[in-house]
Every structure is written in C-alpha cells, then in structure tokens.
Structure 1
Amino acid sequence: MNHLVISCIGPDKSGIVDQLSKVISQHQGNWQVSSLHHLSGFFAGVIEVAVSAENTIDLKNALENIQHLNCQIELAEPNSVKANSNLILELTANDRAGIVQNVSSVIHHQGGNLIKLVSSQNSAAHTGQVMFKAKAQIAINEEQVEDLVSSLEQIADDLMVDITR
C-alpha cells in the first residue's frame, strides 16, 4: 500500500471536497487524514491517502487533472517513529509579525518537532487588541519539555503557554 500526501489549492467553490473524494474513491484510495480550509477565497487542503501500488499513478494523474485545482502529490512512507512525549501547546500573545518564526525556531532549537500548527487572530474582548492564538502539537523527548516551555515563555512577556500531555 502506498501513502500519498496531497496538497491542493484553488479558488473556493461548492463541491471541491466532493470532487476530490470521488476521484480518490474511484481509484480505490482510502482517505486517511486531512486538513481542509477556506482562506481568503481559496480552498486549501492537505490529505493523506492510502492506495494500492497499481492504482497510484492513475490516482495521481486524475488528481492533477482536476480543473481549477492545483494539486502537488508526494509518495510518502508512513511515519512509525515515535517521540517520548507528544504535547499540545496552546499559545496566546499580542499579534506581531514574526511570532510564528519565533515559536517554530524555539521548538526546533529545543529538539522538538512541530507536528501540527493551527493559528488564528482574534480581537481581545476588552481592549480590541489583535491577539495571536495557536494550538501546536509537538513531538519531543520528555526530558526536554521543561526547557522548551521556559524558552517559549522567554520569547515575549505577553506570551502565555498552556500544556496538555
């Protein structure tokens, strides 16, 4: 069984996910994991599909030929390496340019691997100040967790870090 990682982007319109799922199903693919979004008028998605070796090329060709949708497809090996600790970090701070770079750099330099990042901007309830909020899934060795949190909190006085294990 092959695993394909598919990233797609195109103008958002009704029926895109239905179209993608039909193409995958028609080629006996199994939709595994996905993250799909509407961003400034565009559909953007990342999908992992398991498909037999004999259907892989036909599936790739069919996905690449969907009109008005740009799909990049990579053949991947399922990740079987496990870290000692899998953390969920919830980050809140005043929004500013470069905050994602600051956070990702600290995670990298402390030996963590950023598995998933979902971020947003919201207005603070009482001040109207634009706030950065993020939820990050991190794979890291247990003995490095305290140093990671300490380093994240040193990025800025206003950065709050909540951890779930």
Structure 2
Amino acid sequence: MQKLLVITALGEDRPGIVNELARVVSEAGCNIEDSRMTVLGGEFAVILLVKGKWNELAKLETNLPGLGRKLGLMVSSKRTECPRRQGDLLPYAVEVVAVDHPGIVQQLANFFSQRKINIRDMSTASYAAAHTGTAMFSVQMSVDVPAGMHIAALREEFMDFCDQLNLDAIIEPIKG
C-alpha cells in the first residue's frame, strides 16, 4: 500500500539541490508525485509530495536530516493522506494584477474565506511595469467553489470587490 510524505526544504540557492533531493528520494525507492520549487530572494524553497511504501518512506525520513546538513537546508517532513473531496467543488482560476501595495493577498484571502471558498494553490510575483517601471503585483490562484454557489453572483461580487480596491481581475472555470 502506497503512503504519502510531504517534504519541505529551504536554504541558500545553488546548483545541484534538486538533483540531490531527487536522488535521495529515488534511492529510498520513492517517487515524487507533485512538487513546487522556486528561488525567493537568495533562498531556494521546495515542497515535495513523495509516494512510497511505508518502509521506503521510513528510510527516506531517516536520510533527510543528513541530507539537510550536507546541503545546508532546513528540511522537514510530514506524513499525509490522499486528499478527500468535500462535497461537489468546482475549480476556478483567479488572476489579479495591480499596482503593488501592502495587503493585497490578505484582502483576496479574506474575500474567499468569508464565502467558505478554499484556496487550493496560489502564486504571487512583484515586478516593474514595462514602460513606466511602476511596482506591480500579480496573483494567480486556484480556488474550490462549492457547486451550490451561484457563480454569476460570486463573479459579480468579486469583480465589484476588485474594482473597489483598484485590482484588475479575472475569475473563470479551470478547463480540463
């Protein structure tokens, strides 16, 4: 029976980190099922969902502290279960672009939280506008909208909310 383990690691960025992480996972007999990796500032951050038999995961868990010391990473892990679907949920994509200012993520998270809509995935980025150099901010997220929710009303509320905050936004179903 296959089990799941979530591994997180954070440390100074340099070539070879992904190779070493993947090697240790593979040598334990496990498989990387899902991952997110990025460089934030000068730090490399990774989240891995690893699948394996209980004894393979135990071997991997035993090897992680040594790998962390070798690579100069803070490494942690936690056993997890396959996700359980809670009722009928519709996956929607949300994209927001705005002049950068504090609080955008919190305001968006609050909007969805108040409506009992789960944020499944989120990515944000700061960048300079092409011609003006203005500090801009973008957010991409996937949310789970309860199937019983009136989508047209939700879309209208969201667009009004974004207009009040001067955010350009799109909310649309995820296709496929």
Task: Specify the alignment match of 1:120 in structure 2.
Answer: 125
Q: CA deviation at 1:39?
A: 1.2
Matched, 1:38 2:45: no
Task: Specify the alignment match of 2:171 in structure 1.
Answer: 163
Task: Specify the alignment match of 1:76 in structure 2.
Answer: 80
Q: CA deviation at 1:115?
A: 0.7
- SS of equivalent residue, structure 1 residue 22: helix
Q: 8 Å contact 1:110–1:148 — kept in the other structure? A: no
Describe the superposition over 1:72-124 as per-residue Cα deviations: whole angstroms up to 9, x where unpaired. 10100010316421001111111111111111111111111111111111222
Amino acid at match of 2:45: A
Describe the superposition over 1:26-63 as per-residue Cα deviations: whole angstroms up to 9, x where unpaired. 11111000010011111101110001111222201212
Give me the whole-angstrom Cα distance separating, in 1, the residues matched to 2:77 and 2:23: 17
Number of matched residues? 165
Q: CA deviation at 1:153?
A: 3.8
Give me the whole-angstrom Cα distance separating, in 1, the residues matched to 2:110 and 2:23: 39
Amino acid at match of 1:160: D
Cα distance change of structure 1 residues 145 and 46 upon mapping to structure 2, 3 Å threshold = farther
Amino acid at match of 2:23: K
Matched, 1:101 2:102: no
Q: CA deviation at 1:147?
A: 4.5
Give me the whole-angstrom Cα distance separating, in 1, the residues matched to 2:57 and 2:159: 42
* Stretch moving more, 52-61 or 30-39: 52-61
* Stretch moving more, 104-113 or 137-146: 137-146
Give me the whole-angstrom Cα distance separating, in 2, the residues matched to 1:131 and 1:162: 17
Cα distance change of structure 1 residues 108 and 148 upon mapping to structure 2, 3 Å threshold = farther
Task: Specify the alignment match of 1:3 in structure 2.
Answer: 4
Give me the whole-angstrom Cα distance separating, in 1, the residues matched to 2:122 and 2:53: 30
Q: CA deviation at 1:64?
A: 2.2
Q: Which runs of 5+ in 2 are unaligned?
A: none
Task: Specify the alignment match of 1:49 in structure 2.
Answer: 50
Amino acid at match of 2:51: A
Percent of pairs identical after alignment?
24
- TM-score (structure 2 length as normaliser): 0.86
Task: Specify the alignment match of 1:129 in structure 2.
Answer: 134
Alignment of 1:10-25 (within 5 A): 10-25=11-26
Give me the whole-angstrom Cα distance separating, in 2, the residues matched to 1:16 and 1:153: 44
Q: Which runs of 5+ in 1 are unaligned?
A: none
